[in-house]
Amino acid sequence: MVASGYLTLSLLPQAFRDLLTIDSAPEAIDYGLNRVRFPTPARVGANVRCTGRVLAVQRFEAGLEAVFGVTFESEDQHHPSASPNQ
């Protein structure tokens, strides 16, 4: 069986907790996704790895906006399983 790309994408909040440490932010808002591609489905039960990097940060009067590039990779696959915001 194959996991839906959106199921893989649902791992993103937990991946962000593992990838990021944000100090002294009273609140954070998930503003949305700029672009998502699902080039290869992840197989059910496969190990999935998430890598990410900060692409841009812009300061506003009310706070900061950060754009992240994130890629999910599934074991035994040659292409990413999901790539939001790259």
Give tens-digit pLDDT for 39-78.
888 888 888 889 889 999 999 888 888 899 998 888 877 7
What is the per-residue DSSP string for the chain? -EE-HHHHHTTHHHHHHHH----S-S-------S-----SPEETT--EEEEEEEEEEEEETTEEEEEEEEEEEETT-SS-SB-TT-
The strand pair at 2-3 and 48-60 is best described as unpaired
Give tens-digit pLDDT for 5-48.
888 888 888 888 888 887 777 787 878 888 888 888 888 888 88
This prediction's pTM: 0.72
Tell me if 71 sits within 8 A of 29, measured CB to CB. Answer: no
What pLDDT is attached to residue 1?
Answer: 60
Confidence of residue 86 (pLDDT cuts 50, 70, 90): very low
The residues with which 58 forms a beta bridge, in sequence order, are 65
